[in-house]
Amino acid sequence: MTVELELTVMDGTNPGGVLTERLRPFEEAHKVKINLTILAWESAWTDIVKYGLYGRGPDVSEIGSTWLASLVGMNALRPFEDAEAERLEPQAFLPQLWDNGIYEGALYGIPWFADTRLIYYRRDILKRAGVNPSQAFTSAQSLEQAIGQLKKAGVDTPWLVPTDRTLNNLHILAAWVWGAGGDFLGADGREILIDRPESLEGFANYFRLGRHISARAMGLSDNLANRRFRQDKAAMLASGPWVRLTEAESLKVVRDNYDAAPLPGVPFIGSSHMVVWKHSPHGELACKLVEFLTSADFQREFYQVPSLFPSRTALLEEELRDDPVWRASVESIRRGRTFPVASLWGLLEDRLSVEIGKIWGDFATNTRSESVEGLVGRHITALAQRLRAPSGF
């Protein structure tokens, strides 16, 4: 009787259904059938929690790295044994991504793919305004100066970020907080740091750029903000590496004149990890599947997919592509950092994402005529106090 393994991955990692074909060598080598299920990032957490709560579901899953602590807390994941971890070649992975698979001293997740956030910009518009791209993105201050210079030159929307409620806003904003010397949680994963002076400075530096977002560009989702840039309605955009400027989606003037750069400060690195569920009756075989999926050979083929970046250090340097998004992403991944693996992070991430949306809402109206520092400080300080309360909100 053929053994069957259940595997779930996210929708972004199976473009065109290619994963099924790539799994066949493993199936043939181990005489196993892999049943693949695709989950949507937007709703996957609900399914993942059910797998953990009820002890039923897949053997192996791709998860967001920040979910790991919560799943370990539910006693839902099988840790990798020392011998299994050694076969996975820990030294070959980006250290910050490998460390994100470790919780309370045990290894539970193996990094699969990495991503980051970038600034897309128009070379032609910056040139007309006398802005030097080699200097504009080196710090939060130089970026603010460049955006102000574009505004003075008559650019209607020199800067654009999603201002609707979205996790992507936090992923972008983190570079400003870390770049100012601030942080979100303490080293113990329990201390709230968002209202420390350095953190508040980073928040304020980020939101101050909103003064240069036109009223028409406020309240936009990720997709709508990306679309405005592709349609020649902004000089700069902060977003992810998935913003592809294809002929079908973008105007020729944008395709011919865009470039990309890492965010100033310390960029965010996101990642997905492969985990083995404790309820799997095929734990050893499931670990071998994770080893196969995260191997250099598999990643070397698979990172040809746009917006997917390998978690292995050597592969990031193996191929120098003449592509601005690839170049900027690799640089960003090399010097960026991840969100912490901590049980409190899920709550903080959710509450902070909501609060960021509220700040943008107040920013758009600002009926109190507050300074940016005052508006941001009022929201973030109140949130920190609620999070420190016994109820957590």
Query: What are 158-179's pLDDT values in tens digits?
Result: 999 999 887 789 999 999 999 9
- Render pLDDT for 107-135 as a digit per residue (tens, 0 to 9): 999 999 898 999 999 999 999 999 999 99
How many Cβ atoms from other residues are within 10 Å of residue 11's Cβ? 12
What distance in Å separates the CA atoms of residue 126 and residue 147, rounded to the nearest whole number?
Answer: 9
| Fold agreement between 3-116+269-335 and 118-267+341-388 | yes
- The encoded tokens of residue 161 equal 């970020």
Fold designation for 3-116+269-335: D-Maltodextrin-Binding Protein; domain 2 (3.40.190)
Choose between 154 and 15: higher pLDDT.
154
Q: What is the mean pLDDT of residues 12-17?
A: 66
Give residue limits of the domains in the chain. 3-116+269-335, 118-267+341-388
In the block, tokens 């693949």 appear at 36
Task: Using the predicted structure, report yes or no on whether residue 184 has a pLDDT greater than 60.
Answer: yes
| pTM listed for this prediction | 0.91
| Dihedral angle of Cα 135, 138, 144, 150, to the nearest 10 degrees | 30
Helix 167-179, helix 197-208: angle, nearest 10: 120
What distance in Å separates the CA atoms of residue 338 and residue 341, rounded to the nearest whole number?
Answer: 9
Q: Which CATH architecture describes the domain 118-267+341-388? A: 3-Layer(aba) Sandwich (3.40)
